[in-house]
Amino acid sequence: MVAEQPLLMPMPPDPVVRVGAQTGFELDDVAIETAIGGFALCQVKARLALGEAQSSPLADALDQVVAQFLAGVRGRPITPGRDKLVIVTDTRAHRTVRCHLPTAISRSATQPAGTPFGQELTGPEARALKVTLAHIRRSWSDRGSVSTDEDLRRLLSAMAIVTVDTVDGGRERTTAQATLRGFVSPGEERRAWDALVAVGREAAIAREWRRRPELVSACTRRGVIIGPGPSAARDIVLLRAATQSNLAALQADTTLPVEGGMHLSRLADADLAVVRPEDAGVLVVGEAGSGKTGALVTLASARSECGQDVVVLRATDLAAGAVSGNTRLTLPIDQVLLSWTGASPATLVIDALDAARGSTARARLAELVGALAESRWQVAASVRTFDLLYGPALRAAFPGEPVSSDPARRDSRLDGIRHIRLGAC
């Protein structure tokens, strides 16, 4: 999921959208949801042996497989190819479980209907399948149903035995750390692995799901920066280009119309300059022509020159689903920005929130601001005073004290809203 790569066989070959633990399925150790709504549901059994007793760990795991197969998932039947019911074990498991049983299940599942079980299997494979089917038939019968051979074949086609070696130096751990190498700073692969394991444990304790942005944010809190995936990386390039285009277009608001241009300084520039990037978002308010856009462009340019990640967008473009003219992102902008990680704060500048007409458009912009709360992105936006006074969604998105203590730089009607005022009331 971090690398946005398909799962390896025998898992469903679809992109992963979220991972959960102890989330209420019959197979509840790990749950993986794919982009097409499929599920890989996993039960973990260390040192698994080919136990024939009804009380054996193998019998217990297979009972959970049968229960999940008969229950289906999210109100629909388990679908082979889309879903997979997985028993996960480790390299300490018996060789028959690690080697012979997966082959027996795969081969039997793909044989034509009516093919006797055990055909075209080696002796160890046939024995492993016989023990497995005995457990499955008993579990099926205990639930008041009679299973035909083709019922069992359908279950086998949705089932897999997977062996993983995640100890230090183990194959799967080494592969995972090699994959992480493309998303973390050199030498950080081990720390990234440890951070992801810790986040997984937290999810298991909380019985919750985690998507990529949540995993990345949790790792960031542990001091590990995981870079954006390929899908967000493409959109980040578009945001950088849109920012350069918008800054160039809005630059006229920061200069006087004389030959060669002359920077137009404002008292508010100094107040905005001392706003810490890691603080909450801020609104630049005032009437039309008071210099709101110029103040934001000055702030954006200064932070960009300091090496900070800065995005400058127009509210009218965002309301139309674009980032500049007809340029549209592949992913929702909040998802792109949350995936755009870094070790330092970043700034999103949105010019002219009042230009986004209609309550729906403004509500969406307010939702974007809310989605970025607690992230590294500080939102600085401009809006006319009138539209803020009568825009509850925008007011709610920027709670806090005014930026300046100067009465001329704050509006008494906007107490409880983090803002700085330009021009006269």
239 and 213 belong to one structural domain: no
Of 164, 183, 214, which residue is a domain's last? Answer: 164
Within 169-229, residue ranges assigned H as helices are: 171-180, 189-206, 212-221
200 and 286 belong to one structural domain: no
124 and 192 belong to one structural domain: no
234 and 381 belong to one structural domain: yes
Q: Please give the single-letter amino acid code of residue 169.
A: G
Name the token pair of 356.
């986004």
Of 222, 241, 260, which residue is a domain's last? Answer: 222
Pick the residue with more confidence: 106 or 360? 106
Name the token pair of 172.
């799967």
Q: What is the pLDDT of residue 288?
A: 87
pLDDT in tens, 370-396: 999 888 999 999 999 999 999 898 899
Q: Please give the single-letter amino acid code of residue 222.
A: R
124 and 186 belong to one structural domain: no
Q: Which residues touch 326 (CB under 8 Å, ≥6 apart)?
A: none
Residue 265 has pLDDT above 70, yes or no: no
Integer angstrom CA distances of residue 188 from 80, 169, 177, 199, 215: 38, 16, 9, 16, 16
Query: CATH number, domain at 288?
Result: 3.40.50.12060
Ramachandran region of residue 3, left (φ > 0), alpha (ψ -120 to 50) or beta? alpha
196 and 112 belong to one structural domain: no
pLDDT in tens, 188-247: 999 999 999 999 999 999 999 999 988 988 998 899 999 998 989 999 999 999 999 999
How far is Cα 229 from Cα 215, in angstroms, rounded to an integer? 12
Q: What is the pLDDT of residue 255?
A: 55
106 and 71 belong to one structural domain: yes
User: 257 falls in which pLDDT band (50, 70, 90)?
Assistant: low
Ramachandran region of residue 388, left (φ > 0), alpha (ψ -120 to 50) or beta? alpha
Domain-located, residue 245 = yes
Pick the residue with more confidence: 290 or 270? 290
38 and 117 belong to one structural domain: yes
Q: Are 30 and 162 in contact (CB under 8 A)?
A: no
Q: Please give the single-letter amino acid code of residue 371.
A: A
User: 263 falls in which pLDDT band (50, 70, 90)?
Assistant: low
Chain centroid, CA 212 distance in Å: 3
3-state secondary structure of 154: helix
In this structure, is the dihedral angle defined by the CA atoms of residues 166, 170, 175 and 178, taken in order, positive or negative? positive
User: 181: domain range?
Assistant: 175-222
Name the token pair of 97.
């479980």
Q: What is the pLDDT of residue 258?
A: 47
Residue 96 has pLDDT above 90, yes or no: yes
Q: Are 101 and 94 in contact (CB under 8 A)?
A: no
Q: What is the pLDDT of residue 136?
A: 98
Domain-located, residue 9 = no
Q: What is the pLDDT of residue 10?
A: 87
How far is Cα 96 from Cα 108, in angstroms, rounded to an integer? 16
Domain-located, residue 402 = yes
255 and 217 belong to one structural domain: no
Share of the chain above pLDDT 70, in %: 96
Domain-located, residue 260 = yes
Domain-located, residue 242 = yes
Q: Are 310 and 298 in contact (CB under 8 A)?
A: no
Q: What is the pLDDT of residue 259?
A: 57
Name the token pair of 355.
């230009």
pLDDT in tens, 185-198: 999 999 999 999 99
Please measure the distance between the N-terminal and C-terminal CA atoms of the chain and give it in whole angstroms: 51
Q: What is the mean pLDDT of residues 347-367?
A: 86
The structural domain count of the chain equals 3
151 and 254 belong to one structural domain: no
Q: How many residues does the chain have?
A: 425
pLDDT in tens, 272-289: 888 888 888 999 999 988
158 and 187 belong to one structural domain: no
Domain-located, residue 4 = no
pLDDT in tens, 2-61: 988 888 888 888 889 999 999 999 999 999 999 999 999 999 999 999 999 999 999 999
Domain-located, residue 8 = no
Domain-located, residue 210 = yes
Q: What is the pLDDT of residue 127?
A: 97
How far is Cα 395 from Cα 76, in angstroms, rounded to an integer? 43
3-state secondary structure of 85: strand
190 and 235 belong to one structural domain: no
